[in-house]
Structure 1
Amino acid sequence: MAMTILHRKLGRDLWRIRAQALAIAAVVAVGVMVQVMMAGLTDTLTITRDAYFERHRFAQVFEPLTRAPNSLMEKVSAIPGVLTAEGRLSGYGRIDADGGEPVQARILSLPGPAGLNGILMTAGRMPVAGRSDEVVLLDTFAAARGIALGDTLGVTVEGRHQRLRVVGFARSPEFLFMPAPGEFFPTDGRFAVIWMERKAAAAVLDLDGAFNEVLVLTTRERPRKAVLADLDRLMAPYGGGAGYLQDQQTSARFIDEELNGLRQSRLFLPPIFLAVAAFLLNVTITRIVQAERREIGLMKAFGHSGAEIAGHYLELALLIALAGAALGSGLGVMAGRGITGIYMEFYKFPYLVFSMRPGPFAGGLAFSLLAAALGAAIALRTVFRLTPAEAMRPPAPPDFTHGRIGFLALLTRPLDQPGRMILRQITRQPFRSLGTIAGVAAGLALNMAMLIIYAGFDHTMAVTFGFADRSDAAVSFIHPISRDVTHEIAHLPGVLEAEPQRMVPVLFRNGPITHRGELTGLPDPATLNRALDTGLNPIPLPANGVVLSRGLAELLKLHPGDLITAEVTEGRKRHLTLPVVAVSDTLLGSPAYMRLDALTRAIGEADRITSVSIRTAGPPSPELLHALRERPKVAGVSVKADSYAAFRKIADEGAGQMRFVFGAIAFVLSFGIVYNAARNAFAERAHELASLRVLGFTRAEVTLVLAGEIAVLVAIALPLGIWLGWWLANLIAVAFSNELYKVSVSFDLPSIAKAVLVVVAAMLVSILMLRRAQDRLNMVTALKARD
């Protein structure tokens, strides 16, 4: 019977504070939603990636080389730690799209008996043995270009043009993330993969009886690095020696970086919301306990123990948290499923089902209930200490005439009556006021940090596509070619300026730190592609030395004046020791710049180039594209406008949508804190507010007294929130920067203003809701209430 009475009271209490309970539950829900969404996405990507890689036997070791006889595969299989190995044929060609720019294509032999780097057929069939003109095409490229089964492609490989018939579409774990050469982000219609029957590929690539790439699966008994070292030594006479592991393969590497970003988000976001919820519950339960001292005394007088009464209020807090956790779990699943669609489009997974394992749900529920329990436990100490006789008396009013509070009261004497009432209430509960300030600052900081990060993306685009790269297109070649071709391209129709480049793949070393990248040779002075300092001024390229991008310098822990080792992984494979002359403010990619003549001299070859950047009169004309298609050594043409559009799509339609999500989250957090603070102040001061109305104050003046307290707390929180937001933005920038891009952080005033407006909007909504509550206030009842 006793518990039945307490449960009835619990229902009445929940209904009475329903608005506050909903606000607190919303804060809990957001924390749990982020936890479930991030954990679910991490599990989803991890499980799908591992299953996809395992099912299609994605190689763990890659060894590119120039040419080796098929008989050498027996020695590869005999290396300790090799589970299975396969030699495949790999090369590059060009698809000549009618009326458009040439598109570079990767040419691969179909997986052999070992099935390494297997393909997933999505339509059509495999080529028939002996039919050298039948191929399987990457399905995302086919969809982007409108290519159907049975269509023929004009393909140029090694200077020979032929027609190939598409008999099947497929995708592979090797090409989940594959930007076109010279571009930073993948665009479906800009890069193709063509799989051919082995004999046909050997004829096209001139590799009859040979292979030029080794794929290996390893056993668990020996480290992969040791297997790679033995493979490098075996293949060095055949142009090898620059192999790499699976985690350095482009698709695998960028998925790993995405997973790292999700894990870091899980670490710092949910605790913020759950800590705020604990604070709000503490304030709410404390107010209820103080308001119900008489009821607590009566319950104790009628035989209820302190534990039973404390359990009643604890149950109130837990029910609010439980409701928030349930709502957050549902929202987390919905948000996670929505984002999986973005991941499927971006990473080209054939399937991606949002994982709903019980772990994230149980963790979100446990942490939210723990936060509620901690928040309520501090407030419930009063319940155990109260005796029935003491509880029946109203609490002693605070003394504002002595000590620190009295000193603050002296400072408020120049203020009018409402002003003194506002500051008195703030100083009466200093810890509660500080908690409100901290919570509002946290909401502002979170939103401001994300807005600054996305403003940094815009800055990255402006610097990369407007200052560093001033070309309109880049022409790439299948193999390094004489620099004289620059003059020929400069005289093609519509070309105003042409500038050569040389890209040399290398393995950078600084002690134990290594990184696979490229040395980029530029003419001096470079006008279309430039290395820039932090002031966006061109950096003169030295006669001997290298200019590193900021991201690469930080990755290798190098500074101007240090020495860097670059092991060339093609041609003669020379080892270069170069001084770091300067650091460039490059935000996309991780280039290392050298003077073109110095680079070609260092690698010991003639003055050869791999691409030419061009500036044109308007967009590249059909005549220009046709002229480039007629050149057999042209591998492809990358139009800068297409690269910009791909980046813009990602920033706006992909990850950029998260700026609106975080804006909504910040509003919920700020509203939950501000509204609860205002509602508690209203409940505690109902007697004062009613007295003011009796004394002749208007509704607007009474509202000013209540709203003024909230406005002062928010005003104090704003500079603190801006400082926290700047610190958090820098923390997020470091966490999410990777080899693909460097997240730029600047003190962006529009971003700060938008974040402040979200907090102010939350405050105004709270004040309007309190005004409605004030209008419904029964002054007679409020004046009869005991303080």
Structure 2
Amino acid sequence: MTSRLMWLRWSWRDLRQRWVLVLAIALTIALGTGAYAGFTGTADWRTRSYDASYAKLRMHDVRVTLTKGTTAPAGTLRRLVTGTPSADRVRSVSERLVVPTQVAASHGGHQVLVAGRLVGAAAGTAVDRVHVYTGRQVTAGESGRAVAVLERAFARHYDLPSSGTVRVSGGTRLHYVGQGTAPDYFSPASDSGIPMIGESGFAVLFVPLATAQRLAGAPGQVNEIVLTLAPGTDAKAVADQMERALGRGPTPLSGTVTVRDDEVGYHALYEDINGDARFFDIIALLLLLGAAFGAFNLTSRVVEAQRREIGIGMALGVPRTRIAARPMLLGVQIALLGVALGLGVGTVVSRAMAGLLTDLLPLPVWNTPFQYRTFLLAALLGFALPLLAVAWPVWRAVRVRPVDAIRVGHLAARGGGLAPLLRRLPVPGRGYRQLPLRNVLRTPRRTVLTSLGIGAAVAIMITVFGMLDSFGAMLGDSEQEATRGGGGRVVAQLDGYHADDSARVRAVATAPGVDRATPLLTVPATARDADGKSVTLLVELRDLRGGVWRPSLTAGSLTRDPGGLVLSEKAAHDLGVRPGASLVLRHPRRSGDGTFALTDSRVTVAAVHPNPLRTVAYLDRSRAGLFGLAATANAVEVTPTPGTDPGHLKQTLFATSGVTGVQTATESLDALRKGVEEFTGILDIAAGVTLALAVLIAFNAASISADERSRENATMFAFGLPVRTVLGMAVAESALLGTLGTAAGIVLGQGIDRWMVRVQLARTMPEIGFDVTLAPGTYLTALLLGIVAVALTPLLTARRLRRMNIPATLRVVE
């Protein structure tokens, strides 16, 4: 018992003597294990929360949406449902009217004007319920009145009160009585269907059905129906039945039928889980491996520094098992402290991730428990690494002769590692100037492990910042394309299809501040290639030969085929087509009685444009007859007169009769940019952990090197070398290690970044085209972190070197 207490007291003494180093190594383990648990746990949180939120609000299984600009009398769509073979499998039905609008709100004394949507449904509907966070629900007794529930993300972004007043198209005032959300709007998206274009640039108002009908000037009309089905029902089969039923009624209708899994927001959220999980798993694994390399290397070096004491113990006849117990106890202490600190780091990272996720997505239910199982797996590795790191040098030390173990300095490195290579290389400078390079070469295992730890941190940084660079390049290309030829363009959306010479179009063209006006026509379509691959498009018909603005082309030409389709590079890539290829375009076509029906037309791809958004496509206005909409417009593009502010022109057009929305050429991009900035908050956490890990590894390496080379440093001091010279050599050695680690990290980071952008982003955001981009600033940051910061860490040992007792350090018995 006395012997055991002695060993415990001895190991405790070792811990106290090196408490700063032990704490730093434990923090290295803690960062790796804690960050691993914090990052990898998000997938489970999101899956649980999404499932619970969709179930709570009873999201639809099937949705039928009539062609844009068309409606049907209330009850028509419900009768179509009851006439399908699977009518008995339908549990709940809700007809509604969804119309675009413009929403104006007061924010901090400034007027906010954004695109929006009115969602009209009967109060108390059992499908796609509205969850209210603050305020109250709209009651059945308020049907037809100008009351609403304002979408939560938009209201929170602009810090709007729980109730207040907003204005919609035409200047009508709506009193919102609460802030809430519905299943379709968990992932904010605009009419373009692009995720991340939400909250800042798009507002949704949930109103009674009668209110929406009155505001839209469509009494008794609906344009959408949503269904929930009995468990086990094949939703796609029901959707096929509904699609066939649309064209068979007394008044044929056209529209799109989607199942839950194909909804843009729903698909984006769950697909984003998989993409983000892979991304965070990579980040967490790199952090864990970086911590593992660092902890293994550093702990083994701490024990190797006791090699002389181990040799003396063997020379005195102490059993090898008892000699090994002391350093092993030190390893246990480091491991336990690392796991304990890792629990704290994991909790901090988990709470930070949970806070960011709950801010990004306004879900009614969030389940974010600490991932104990994930942490336990990481902690087991964190606990085993110090023990392995201790066992390796101890096993090597107790297997040699005591006289060999007692050797110190360069004599302890058998064979000199790679240092003999310097004999063949002419290295300038005095002998002691070559020490940094010799120290790096004579211990290749130590050098590789330290460099890999630094390299893992640099690789994470390259990956994180590289993704941000790709986002920035995408936004920059989009803005350059939108503002080419002048960025003052404003597009006014109309309340339906109107003739080019109609009063609605003339009202916009003659509004104060308008210099030039051009009618536009925008219709939804689906392009399909010969292999059946399809892409959803928003085809904009404009004058491609002499209008206010026309897209630039990166391939093809409109000279040979002025009526051909102009696709985005992303759409052309996904469909595998080039200019001159033929596609089938499925689109609505208006018949003589004003109804729409879906039809297929074969079109030729004339050219490709650089807009990163996949949905954006163009046709010349001369092809409007393809849709039965010759000389017809549902939007007007205007340029302001010289001196007119586009923002002021927006306000003017907002009050114009028949205008449901007004946007500048760059407004959607501004909203997307803000969404990207919010997303980067998660990446900032990874960057912070990465920086801390790199600095800890570098500090530990420098501190241990100072301990290992104390006799060498004391010898140089004894021969008159100043502290600054010895520090300079330590800085040079750290710079060499940092250079090796940075080079490896840049190569690894480039590969991971390329895979993340081309594979993961393509899966999670298929509507956006990204190029692999690494800005010069990213490389500069990598060099500053991996070389400069690492090189400067030996300066932290300056105080210890100045206070060194030279005679005591040199007083050893050989």
Report the TM-score range of the alignment, normalised by the length of the smaller protein: 0.7 to 0.9
In the alignment, which residue of structure 2 is the partner of 1:275? 289
Query: For the Cα contact (< 8 Å) 2:739–2:786, is it kept in 1?
Result: no
Give the CA deviation at 1:614: 3.0
Q: Which amino acid aligns with 1:253?
A: H
Give the CA deviation at 1:183: 8.9
Give the CA deviation at 1:395: 9.3
Query: For the Cα contact (< 8 Å) 1:333–1:356, is it kept in 2?
Result: yes
Distance 1:152 1:57 in 2: 28
1:699 matched to 2:711: no
From the superposition, tell whether residues 401 and 350 of structure 1 become closer, same or farther in structure 2 (CA, over 3 Å): closer
Three-state SS of the structure 1 residue aligned to 2:521 is: strand
1:714 matched to 2:738: yes
Of 759, 763, 766 in structure 1, the residue corresponding to residue 793 of structure 2 is: 766
1:527-538 alignment, distance < 5 Å:
530-532=550-552
Gaps of 5+ in 1: none
From the superposition, tell whether residues 257 and 475 of structure 1 become closer, same or farther in structure 2 (CA, over 3 Å): farther
* Aligned length, in residue pairs: 777
Distance 2:389 2:604 in 1: 58
Q: Which amino acid aligns with 1:30?
A: L
Give the CA deviation at 1:146: 5.3
1:386-436 Cα distance to aligned partner (Å, 9 max, x none)? 466765676992789999643432314543212322222121112322333
- The farther-off stretch of 414-423 and 47-56 is 414-423
Give the CA deviation at 1:117: 0.5
In the alignment, which residue of structure 1 is the partner of 2:545? 525
Distance 1:330 1:695 in 2: 47
Distance 1:70 1:402 in 2: 85
1:494 matched to 2:494: no
Of 563, 567, 580 in structure 1, the residue corresponding to residue 586 of structure 2 is: 567
- The farther-off stretch of 182-191 and 549-558 is 182-191
Three-state SS of the structure 2 residue aligned to 1:636 is: strand
Query: For the Cα contact (< 8 Å) 1:494–1:624, is it kept in 2?
Result: no
1:239 matched to 2:253: yes
From the superposition, tell whether residues 557 and 17 of structure 1 become closer, same or farther in structure 2 (CA, over 3 Å): farther
From the superposition, tell whether residues 630 and 560 of structure 1 become closer, same or farther in structure 2 (CA, over 3 Å): closer
Distance 1:458 1:635 in 2: 31
Of 596, 605, 610 in structure 1, the residue corresponding to residue 629 of structure 2 is: 605
Distance 2:698 2:781 in 1: 18
Of 475, 478, 499 in structure 2, the residue corresponding to residue 461 of structure 1 is: 475
In the alignment, which residue of structure 2 is the partner of 1:119? 130
1:89 matched to 2:96: yes
Distance 1:424 1:189 in 2: 58
Query: For the Cα contact (< 8 Å) 2:565–2:604, is it kept in 1?
Result: yes
Of 561, 567, 574 in structure 2, the residue corresponding to residue 548 of structure 1 is: 567
- TM superposition score normalised by structure 2: 0.84
Give the CA deviation at 1:769: 1.0
From the superposition, tell whether residues 657 and 401 of structure 1 become closer, same or farther in structure 2 (CA, over 3 Å): closer
From the superposition, tell whether residues 450 and 695 of structure 1 become closer, same or farther in structure 2 (CA, over 3 Å): same
1:505-520 alignment, distance < 5 Å:
505-510=524-529, 511=531, 513-520=533-540
Distance 2:768 2:427 in 1: 56
In the alignment, which residue of structure 2 is the partner of 1:428? 442
1:70 matched to 2:49: no
Give the CA deviation at 1:373: 4.7
Distance 1:373 1:435 in 2: 16
1:660-710 Cα distance to aligned partner (Å, 9 max, x none)? 444433322322332233223222222111111112222222222222211
Query: For the Cα contact (< 8 Å) 1:671–1:759, is it kept in 2?
Result: no
1:54-103 Cα distance to aligned partner (Å, 9 max, x none)? 011011221223533533332348357x3524141223154675987585
Query: For the Cα contact (< 8 Å) 1:471–1:640, is it kept in 2?
Result: yes
Of 466, 489, 499 in structure 2, the residue corresponding to residue 482 of structure 1 is: 499
Query: For the Cα contact (< 8 Å) 1:344–1:351, is it kept in 2?
Result: no
Query: For the Cα contact (< 8 Å) 2:103–2:203, is it kept in 1?
Result: no
Distance 2:337 2:601 in 1: 63
Query: For the Cα contact (< 8 Å) 1:274–1:367, is it kept in 2?
Result: no
1:314-346 Cα distance to aligned partner (Å, 9 max, x none)? 553454344344434433433443444444443
Q: Which amino acid aligns with 1:679?
A: S
Give the CA deviation at 1:638: 1.8
From the superposition, tell whether residues 188 and 700 of structure 1 become closer, same or farther in structure 2 (CA, over 3 Å): closer
Gaps of 5+ in 2: 106-110, 590-595
Three-state SS of the structure 1 residue aligned to 2:284 is: helix
1:349-391 Cα distance to aligned partner (Å, 9 max, x none)? 2454533242333233234234445544544542563466765
In the alignment, which residue of structure 2 is the partner of 1:444? 458
In the alignment, which residue of structure 1 is the partner of 2:182? 172
Of 590, 593, 610 in structure 2, the residue corresponding to residue 585 of structure 1 is: 610
From the superposition, tell whether residues 667 and 211 of structure 1 become closer, same or farther in structure 2 (CA, over 3 Å): closer
In the alignment, which residue of structure 2 is the partner of 1:784? 811
Query: For the Cα contact (< 8 Å) 1:452–1:746, is it kept in 2?
Result: yes
Query: For the Cα contact (< 8 Å) 1:507–1:516, is it kept in 2?
Result: yes
1:724 matched to 2:743: no
Of 74, 94, 107 in structure 1, the residue corresponding to residue 119 of structure 2 is: 107
Q: Which amino acid aligns with 2:31?
A: V
Query: For the Cα contact (< 8 Å) 1:400–1:409, is it kept in 2?
Result: no
In the alignment, which residue of structure 1 is the partner of 2:592? none
Distance 2:691 2:114 in 1: 48
Query: For the Cα contact (< 8 Å) 2:200–2:671, is it kept in 1?
Result: no
Query: For the Cα contact (< 8 Å) 1:508–1:515, is it kept in 2?
Result: yes
Distance 2:521 2:329 in 1: 69
- The farther-off stretch of 313-322 and 459-468 is 313-322
1:218 matched to 2:229: yes
Distance 2:468 2:91 in 1: 45
From the superposition, tell whether residues 376 and 241 of structure 1 become closer, same or farther in structure 2 (CA, over 3 Å): farther
1:185-228 Cα distance to aligned partner (Å, 9 max, x none)? 44547544444445665677688887543323334534433332
Query: For the Cα contact (< 8 Å) 1:729–1:745, is it kept in 2?
Result: yes
Distance 1:599 1:307 in 2: 88
Q: Which amino acid aligns with 1:772?
A: R
Give the CA deviation at 1:148: 7.1
In the alignment, which residue of structure 1 is the partner of 2:430? 416
Distance 2:166 2:421 in 1: 88
Three-state SS of the structure 2 residue aligned to 1:133 is: coil
In the alignment, which residue of structure 2 is the partner of 1:646? 671
Three-state SS of the structure 1 residue aligned to 2:241 is: helix
Query: For the Cα contact (< 8 Å) 1:474–1:612, is it kept in 2?
Result: yes
- The farther-off stretch of 124-133 and 387-396 is 387-396
1:749 matched to 2:771: no
Query: For the Cα contact (< 8 Å) 2:146–2:174, is it kept in 1?
Result: yes
Q: Which amino acid aligns with 1:593?
A: A
Distance 2:335 2:535 in 1: 47
From the superposition, tell whether residues 254 and 618 of structure 1 become closer, same or farther in structure 2 (CA, over 3 Å): farther
Q: Which amino acid aligns with 1:566?
A: L
Query: For the Cα contact (< 8 Å) 1:177–1:186, is it kept in 2?
Result: no
Distance 2:310 2:414 in 1: 28
Three-state SS of the structure 2 residue aligned to 1:221 is: coil
1:183-222 alignment, distance < 5 Å:
185-188=196-199, 191-198=202-209, 212-222=223-233
Give the CA deviation at 1:150: 8.0
In the alignment, which residue of structure 2 is the partner of 1:47? 48
Distance 1:558 1:29 in 2: 51
Q: Which amino acid aligns with 2:138?
A: M
Three-state SS of the structure 1 residue aligned to 2:63 is: strand
From the superposition, tell whether residues 529 and 3 of structure 1 become closer, same or farther in structure 2 (CA, over 3 Å): farther
Three-state SS of the structure 1 residue aligned to 2:245 is: helix
Query: For the Cα contact (< 8 Å) 1:438–1:717, is it kept in 2?
Result: yes
Give the CA deviation at 1:636: 0.8
1:718-747 Cα distance to aligned partner (Å, 9 max, x none)? 444333333333233232351454444334
Query: For the Cα contact (< 8 Å) 1:79–1:230, is it kept in 2?
Result: no
